[in-house]
Amino acid sequence: MPIISRGFHGKRQEGPSDRVPPGQYLTDDFPVLSAGPTPHTALEDWSFSIHGGAEPVSWTWDEFRQLPTETVTVDIHCVTKWSKLDTSWEGVSVDTLLDAVDHDAAYLLAFSDGGYTTNLPVEDVTGGRAWVAFAYGGEPLEPEHGGPARLLVPHLYFWKSAKWVRGLSLRDEDEPGFWESNGYHLYGDPWREQRYWGD
């Protein structure tokens, strides 16, 4: 029996219940969550690298932007409780990037400008489930939202979609990243409400 909050009725935003995970509410805004200052990396200084495979690989911005791109429309869910439906992104599939690497890793740590990291199982970023996105709503991705490029892993809480991403470090073991070392769940499935340690 839950505790009833006397006099609380709620606004009962209408949302398709099969698209809004438990404990989330819908917003039309695009709130920002980050732990420090917003990095501003010039495109000529930007690269994306993958190490931990047989050979390290790296793309400059121009090389990266010559890779095939996909446009996807997905729902995103932030651990701070907001969800946003039908967000439109353009990016390079992580499948495309990992195809360039000979590896048998089960996990990876995505790393970003500003020192941010987040850990993911490789199977969660392959099979058409993750992208390195450089455009949002048809426009170049703003720095405050992770531009020039961020990871996009929409089926997990949005902190896993690392802003300002600069590469992937492949590894055999799952190792907690930044928020995962600061109280947040190692995996972060919004449908199982895996917000914090112990969920």
Partner 1 sequence: MAGAVQETPRVRTLLLDAPGWADHRAGQHLDVRLTAEDGYQAERSYSIASAPGEELAITIERLDDGEVSPYLVDEAADGDQFEVRGPIGGYFVWDASDPRPILLVGGGSGVVPLRSMARHRERVGSGTPMKLLYSSRTWDDVIYRDELETIGIDVVYTLTREQPPGWTGYARRIDRELLEETAWPAEQKPRVFVCGSTRFVDAAADGLLELGYEPGWIRTERFGATG
The H-or-E segment that residue 91 falls in is: strand 82-93
| Minimal distance, residue 172 CB to partner 1, in Å | 26
- Residues binding partner 1 (CB under 8 A): 2-13, 23, 25, 27, 29-39, 80-82, 114-115, 144, 178-179, 181-183, 196
* Distance (Å, whole) CA 76 – CA 82: 8
Burial class (CB in 10 A: 0-12, 13-18, 19+), 163: buried
Beta 165-171 vs 47-51: how paired, if at all? parallel
Nearer to partner 1, 2 or 138 (CB): 2
Q: How far is the CB of 145 from partner 1 (least distance, A)?
A: 10
The nearer residue to partner 1, 23 or 127, going by C-beta atoms, is 23
Q: Yes or no: say if 83 and 5 are a contact pair by the CB < 8 Å rule.
A: no
**Dihedrals φ, ψ of 136, to 5°?**
-135, 130
Beta carbon nearer to partner 1, 64 or 136 = 136
Instruction: In angstroms, give the least distance from the CB of 186 to partner 1.
Output: 14
Shortest distance, position 83 Cβ to partner 1, whole Å: 11
42: number of Cβ within 10 Å: 8
Q: How far is the CB of 103 from partner 1 (least distance, A)?
A: 31
∠ Cα 42 45 46 (to 5°): 85
Residue closer to partner 1 by CB (options 127, 183) is 183
> Closest CB to partner 1 among 26 and 72?
26
